[in-house]
Amino acid sequence: MKERIHTTSTKNFREEWIDFIHELQNKICESLEAVDGSAKFKEDVWQRKAGGGGKTRVIANGNVFEKGGVNTSVVHGELSRKMREVLHIPLSSESTKWFACGLSLVLHPINPFVPTVHCNYRYFELTDKEGNVTDCWFGGGTDLTPYYLFEEDAKHFHQTYKNVCHGFDEKFYPLFKKTCDDYFVNTHRNDERRGIGGIFYDHRKPDENNDLNFWFNFSKACGNAFVDAYVPIVEKRINVLFNESNKYWQEIRRGRYVEFNLVHDKGTLFGLKTNGRTESILMSLPPTVRFEYDYQPLKGTPEADLLEVCLRPRDWT
């Protein structure tokens, strides 16, 4: 039988993590409202019938952000057969209940020269009938989806997360960058990435090298780095002039974003298959997209340069 994790060692993590994601939600929303200068987040507090709830905050039609959301959720429930299938938990497992808490955001700017960004950090727990924690882990990441390539922006974004990773283990950045490059990919489109990546990790749990506190602090550091990684890029690009052709390309690439989220993304599929809140789950989708048959950018154009790095990920640091 698998050794149980002491409940006393995880209850504190659960409560501290809940406090952290709500603080992070406030911090990020304040920073984004400041850079937008016009639109404000609208909060929708919701409850889940099966257990728990969340705070969905949406921003729209601003000076900078056409649509975006910064959401937190604290949910729990019985470990149903469907949930076991989604999480790959065998029926023989002693786990009977689950708990999940996290922050997830997606921002779609108006200006095609300002990149879309996605961020998610979460904590997951399984417990048995007596309430003992049988398994727990952290996961998450942040990735950038530009429509036009500015190498200095790509380097800034990746260097920010490389610095965070190096503060914990120098092996993390190359490992988590590759995991990100290999995850956010439309395999049905010749392994075309939806953007230029970032970092991504999952199922990071206590082991002989790092305890739960280590992954807790690592996830906090990654979450706290979001504003420094993204906002300076927004500030640098918000006043770049654009035309209808630039918007056209943005909508083509947004179509690829939709394809990934609805076909491949585990978080989206997990939410939809486990009776999650549909409006919060599909908040990640952009407001306008374009699907054009066999669209190919002209060689030698900025659009082709962007597509090239989506097909062949680079080491930006």
Average the pLDDT over 136-143 and give the result.
Answer: 96
Q: Could you read off the pLDDT of 99-119 as tens digits, one per residue?
A: 999 999 999 999 999 999 999
Name the active-site residue from 76, 108, 118, 203. Answer: 118
Q: What percent of the chain has pLDDT over 90?
A: 80
Q: What angle, rounded to 10 degrees, do the helices at 7-36 and 212-224 form? A: 0
Average pLDDT over the chain reads 92
Q: What is the pLDDT of residue 10?
A: 59
pLDDT digits (tens, 9 = 90+) for 73-100: 999 999 888 878 877 788 778 889 999 9
How would you class 87 by CB atoms within 10 Å of its CB: exposed for 0-12, middle for 13-18, buried for 19 or more?
A: middle
Residue 129 pLDDT greater than 70, yes or no: yes
189-246 confidence digits (pLDDT tens): 999 999 999 999 999 998 888 999 999 999 999 999 999 999 999 999 999 999 999 9
Does 166 score more than 80 pLDDT?
A: yes
Residue 92: count other Cβ atoms within 10 Å of its Cβ.
5
Query: Active site includes 264?
Result: no
> Can you say how many angstroms the Cα of residue 240 is from the centroid of all Cα atoms in its chain?
26
251-274 pLDDT, tens per residue?
999 999 999 999 998 888 877 877
**Between 151-166 and 226-237, two packed helices, what is the crossing angle to 10 degrees?**
170
Question: Percent of the chain having pLDDT more than 70?
Answer: 97
pTM for the model stands at: 0.93
* pLDDT for the residue numbered 273: 76
Q: Report d(CA 56, CA 153) in Å as an integer.
A: 29
Q: Is the pLDDT of residue 8 over 50?
A: no
Mean pLDDT along residues 154-171 = 98
User: Is residue 7 pLDDT above 70, yes or no?
Assistant: no
Q: Using an 8 Å Cβ cutoff, are 154 and 312 in contact?
A: no
Nearest by Cα to 279 from 90, 127, 69? 69
Please name the CATH architecture into which domain 7-311 falls: 3-Layer(aba) Sandwich (3.40)
The tens digit of pLDDT for each residue in 273-284 reads 777 788 888 888
Residue with tokens 């066999």: 294
pLDDT band of residue 11 (cuts 50, 70, 90) is low
